[in-house]
């Protein structure tokens, strides 16, 4: 499996566990690099290898971002933060979970099952969190402009990201693309119904590539594919 998959000029997907779990690298014209999602705790080393594979160094990293606080996304953040000297930017509603290495409660309608008991219950290793939290609609000075789209439900502070210049949408865990478009498992959401509601914001945006933190990207009419999925799932 390649360390990186090009998505647009200066933007790469980082397959952390095959295509199943992904992070992203975004590089500005001046060489500054933003790392978005860093996988499980053991994935931090792969993130750093991916950084080297695009010809960048830890000193080039100027921002660390998360879609949300779950350990398969924030788990490697402490490792990458230590090696780059950067704090992690995350939505305010997930900031304390990242800072303390804890997790938000799961959807109260989910009954405890054998599968739920078998899933990892701990949080990610605590990571340093930037003082200024992310907010909905904020446009970050990343690769010409990266818009924060707050899509809560999977976690309270879950965010998707839109890079308008390249037409790239990163859905985060709002929608999976594992064996086709699908919802995240209800038992992994803080509020599954809210996840379904806020994901509809993604159908209103303009993009030509949809990238997922779980599953490969869609480059052939992704907006239509997501709109069709949302309409059927409504």
**Per-residue pLDDT for the chain (234 aa), expressed as one digit of tens each?**
799 999 999 999 999 999 999 999 999 999 999 999 999 999 999 999 999 999 999 999 999 999 999 999 999 999 999 999 999 999 999 999 999 999 999 988 886 543 444 444 567 899 999 999 999 999 999 999 999 999 999 999 999 999 999 999 999 999 999 999 999 999 999 999 999 999 999 999 999 999 999 999 999 999 999 999 999 876
Q: Strand 168-170 vs strand 159-163: parallel, antiparallel, or unpaired?
A: antiparallel
Within 8 A by CB and 6+ apart from 75, the residues are 38, 39, 40, 41, 42, 43, 44, 124, 125
- Residue (of 71, 157, 86) closest to 128 by Cα position: 86
What's the pLDDT at 108?
87
* Domain ranges within the chain, ordered by starting residue: 5-111+122-233
Q: What is the pLDDT of residue 109?
A: 86
pTM for this entry: 0.95
Tokens of 40: 């499980």
Residue 169's pLDDT is: 98
pLDDT of residue 55: 98
User: What pLDDT shows up at residue 112?
Assistant: 55
Q: Rounded to 5, what percent of the chain is helix, strand, coil?
A: 30, 25, 45
Topology of the domain covering 5-111+122-233:
Metallo-beta-lactamase; Chain A (3.60.15)
What pLDDT shows up at residue 116?
A: 45
How much is the pLDDT for 80? 98
């Amino acid at each position: 499996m390649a360390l990186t998959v090009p998505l647009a000029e200066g933007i790469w997907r980082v397959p952390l566990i095959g295509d199943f779990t992904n992070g992203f690298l975004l590089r500005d014209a001046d060489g500054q690099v933003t790392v978005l999602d860093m996988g499980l705790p053991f994935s931090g080393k792969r993130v750093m290898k991916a950084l080297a594979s695009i010809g960048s160094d830890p000193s080039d990293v100027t921002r660390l971002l998360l879609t949300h606080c779950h350990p398969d996304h924030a788990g490697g953040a402490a490792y990458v933060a230590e090696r780059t000297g950067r704090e992690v930017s995350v939505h305010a509603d997930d900031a304390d979970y990242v800072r303390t290495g804890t997790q938000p409660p799961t959807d109260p309608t989910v009954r405890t099952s054998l599968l739920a008991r078998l899933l990892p219950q701990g949080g990610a290793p605590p990571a340093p969190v930037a003082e200024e939290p992310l907010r909905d609609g904020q446009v970050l000075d990343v690769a010409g402009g990266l818009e924060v789209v707050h899509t809560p439900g999977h976690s309270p502070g879950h965010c998707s990201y839109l890079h308008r210049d390249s037409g790239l949408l990163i859905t985060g865990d709002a929608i999976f693309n594992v064996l086709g478009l699908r919802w995240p498992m209800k038992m992994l959401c803080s509020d599954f119904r809210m996840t379904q509601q806020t994901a509809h914001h993604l159908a209103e945006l303009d993009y030509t590539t949809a990238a997922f933190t779980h599953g490969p990207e869609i480059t052939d009419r992704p907006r239509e594919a997501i709109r069709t999925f949302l309409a059927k799932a409504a």
